[in-house]
């Protein structure tokens, strides 16, 4: 659904009126298009003395495709290596780097700070300084304007060679609706995971996406196919016609399936084994809402939401990970599992005790399962969308819808492709250093942690 307010304030008269009245003016966000360079302009990279990543980051950023690096051009990215900060006095380096540059950051620019996970610090002072980076970045994200975003990457010692996929994501238009987030990167890097073509990192991979007939699931399927995957599109039999249309359009295949059925896992496993020999990426996107306040919610509404949103994910995942006769597990070594959680699962929401419980449950599943399968090179992560412009949010009453759109640092709703780009980043073979994490795709919502 079109954001008429954003369209109005993007026009000359509308922008002037909004400025005079002190109203928010959402910046049209730059989003990825095939062939678009990672950087929209020059990047400035520096770091505190003794940082582990200043040199590697400079080398990496210099190697990235850029739309221009002309002298005097506003920076498209400000990247600061804070791994060399070992106590609170060293935090002054953040001010020294960002203060003279932050107001010149280009529209839809990126501010990125790289640190060390505080729990891996050498002593309490270093841990305090590294934990301080999170408060700095979250606050900076709320100060930035004109569509700019801020990110914190916490890179474990030894994982310096595993950051490229994540750096590409946070610096590019693929992360347009992600801001104020903390991303942890562990290692070591897998040299064999580097793609021949960064535009198609999923070439030769097989992906399955539930809830793919429409909405976010449809766009996730499209995005994974764009990145080279052969996509198996799943949805309920009642959506079979729409599902087949999506699969045909992206060169994938349709598998109508009720994920809550007792034999759903066996049906999916057999299809993947027979048609593709296995699976590389499983995206659990299917989800439903049955909203009522708890005192008015009957057991049927509770059970329906829990069955689709959480129990089906548990069962399908267990089936794909278990040994399948002599062929081994259906999900191959180095596989990726991505779940669609929600900001409701983080912050809660009135009338959604069932939905919020199911989405919070997915976060618990991700965090418990990730270390259990890491030995096979498999990662398990989740995206947590905020207000995304879909048919579901279009049905929300006007004033509630407008509040949802504006209550984030970017002052607008996201698009389904914003969630899909985050899923594709998690799904990449190059993202093996990112595991057990929940990425909020919410424009840095003012609600939730």
Residue-wise pLDDT for 438-448, tens only, equals 999 999 988 76
Q: 321 Cβ partners below 8 Å, 6+ apart?
A: 329, 331, 373, 378
Query: The domain at 28-185 falls in which architecture?
Result: 3-Layer(aba) Sandwich (3.40)
Closest CA to 246 of 272, 275, 220: 220
Mapping DSSP to helix (H, G, I), strand (E, B) and coil, where does residue 385 land? Answer: strand
Active site residues: 355
Q: Decide if 28-185 and 200-441 have a common fold.
A: yes
At 347, list the tokens. Answer: 């912050």
pTM of the model: 0.93
pLDDT digits (tens, 9 = 90+) for 291-304: 999 999 999 999 99
pLDDT of residue 223: 98
pLDDT of residue 448: 64
pLDDT of residue 394: 62
DSSP letters spanning 98-145 = HTTTGGGPPTT-EEEEEE--GGG-SSHHHHHHHHHHHHHHHHHHHH--
Mapping DSSP to helix (H, G, I), strand (E, B) and coil, where does residue 430 land? Answer: helix
d(CA 385, CA 344): 9
pLDDT of residue 189: 77
Domain ranges of the chain: 28-185, 200-441
Contact by Cβ (8 Å): 52, 160 = yes
> Could you check whether the bond before residue 8 is cis, i.e. omega within 30 degrees of 0?
no
Query: The domain at 200-441 falls in which architecture?
Result: 3-Layer(aba) Sandwich (3.40)
Contact by Cβ (8 Å): 220, 234 = no
In this prediction, the residues of the chain whose per-residue pLDDT falls under 70 are 1-5, 8, 11, 14-15, 17-19, 21-23, 68-71, 326, 393-399, 401-402, 448-449
């Amino acid at each position: 659904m079109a954001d008429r307010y954003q369209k109005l304030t993007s026009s000359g008269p509308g922008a002037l009126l909004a400025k005079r009245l002190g109203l928010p003016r959402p910046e049209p966000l730059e989003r990825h298009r095939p062939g678009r360079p990672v950087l929209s302009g020059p990047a400035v990279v520096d770091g505190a003395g003794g940082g582990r990543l200043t040199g590697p980051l400079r080398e990496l950023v210099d190697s990235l495709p850029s739309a221009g690096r002309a002298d005097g051009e506003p920076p498209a990215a400000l990247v600061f290596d804070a791994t060399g900060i070992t106590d609170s006095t060293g935090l002054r380096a953040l001010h020294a780097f960002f203060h003279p540059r932050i107001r010149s950051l280009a529209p839809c620019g990126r501010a990125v700070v790289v640190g060390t996970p505080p729990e891996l610090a050498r002593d309490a002072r270093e841990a305090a300084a590294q934990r301080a980076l999170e408060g700095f970045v979250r606050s900076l994200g709320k100060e930035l304007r004109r569509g700019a975003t801020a990110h914190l990457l916490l890179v474990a010692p030894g994982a310096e060679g595993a950051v490229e996929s994540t750096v590409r994501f946070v610096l590019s238009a693929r992360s347009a609706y992600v801001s104020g987030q903390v991303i942890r990167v562990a290692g070591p890097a897998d040299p064999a995971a580097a793609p021949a073509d960064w535009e198609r990192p999923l070439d030769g991979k097989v992906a399955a996406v539930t809830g793919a007939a429409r909405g976010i699931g449809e766009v996730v399927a499209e995005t994974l196919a764009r990145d080279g995957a052969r996509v198996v599109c799943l949805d309920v039999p009642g959506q079979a016609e729409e599902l087949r249309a999506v699969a045909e359009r992206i060169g994938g295949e349709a598998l109508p399936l009720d994920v809550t059925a007792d034999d759903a896992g066996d049906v999916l496993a057999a299809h993947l084994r027979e048609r593709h020999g296995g699976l590389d990426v499983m995206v659990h996107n299917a989800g439903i809402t049955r909203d009522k306040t708890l005192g008015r919610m009957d057991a049927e509404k509770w059970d329906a939401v829990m069955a689709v949103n959480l129990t089906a994910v548990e069962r399908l995942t267990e089936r794909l990970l278990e040994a399948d006769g002599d062929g081994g597990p259906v999900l191959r070594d180095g596989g990726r599992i991505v779940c669609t959680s929600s900001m409701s699962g983080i912050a809660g929401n009135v009338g959604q005790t069932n939905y919020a419980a199911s989405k919070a449950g997915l976060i618990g599943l991700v965090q418990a399962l990730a270390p259990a399968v890491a030995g096979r090179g498999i990662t398990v992560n989740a995206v947590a969308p905020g207000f995304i412009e879909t048919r579901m949010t279009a049905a929300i009453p006007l004033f509630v819808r407008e509040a949802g759109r504006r209550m984030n640092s970017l002052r607008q709703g996201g698009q389904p492709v914003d969630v899909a780009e985050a899923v594709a980043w998690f799904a990449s073979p190059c993202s093996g250093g990112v595991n057990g994490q929940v990425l909020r795709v919410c424009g840095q919502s003012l609600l939730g942690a």
